[in-house]
Amino acid sequence: MKAQHYFVKAMVLAVVGWTATAAATTAYNCNACTEVQYGQTAQSHASTAGAYVHVYDFANNHFRKYNVDREPRLGGGYDYFAIPTIPTAAEQNFFDTARATWVLNGQNANSLKT
C-alpha cells in the first residue's frame, strides 16, 4: 500500500508540475485541512517570491493554487503571503485524474500521511 501511496503522490507532483507560466510550481499534500491551513501549507513551502504552490487534499477532493509573495521584514528576513489563485483548466484536470486514480486504488486518508 505504501508503494501505491508514493506512486499516486509522484503522479500528482508530476502532473501539476506543468504550468503555462515561468514561475516555479510545486504541490503539497494537506489532508483534512481548513482553508487557512491550505494557505499556511503554501506559505511554509514557498522558497521564492512569485512561486506558485499547489495544495491538494485527495480525501476531501480539494485542490488549491496559491501565488506566494514575500515582503521584506524589519530586522531582516521576509513575510510570506499566500494569495489564492484559480488553477488552470489543465491543472484542475490533472488533479481530477490523479484523484480518480487514487480512488480506484482504494486509498484512504491515512495512506497519504508522510
pLDDT in tens, 37-60: 999 999 988 776 568 999 999 999
Each residue's pLDDT tens digit, 94-114: 999 999 999 998 865 444 444
Q: What is the mean pLDDT of the chain?
A: 78
Q: Which three cell numbers stand for residue 33?
A: 485541512
pLDDT higher than threshold 60 for residue 63: yes
pLDDT at residue 15 greater than cutoff 60:
no
Domain count, the chain: 1
Domain that holds residue 54: 2-112
| Burial (CB count <10 Å: 0-12, 13-18, 19+), residue 95 | buried
In this structure, the number of other CB atoms found within 10 A of the CB of residue 60 comes to 12
Residue 5 has pLDDT above 50, yes or no: no
Average pLDDT estimate for 20-38: 78
State the SS3 of 19-61. CCCCCCEEEEECCCCCHHHHHHHHHHCCCCCCEEEEEEECCCC
CB atoms within 10 A of CB 81: 16
In the prediction, which pLDDT does 25 show?
60
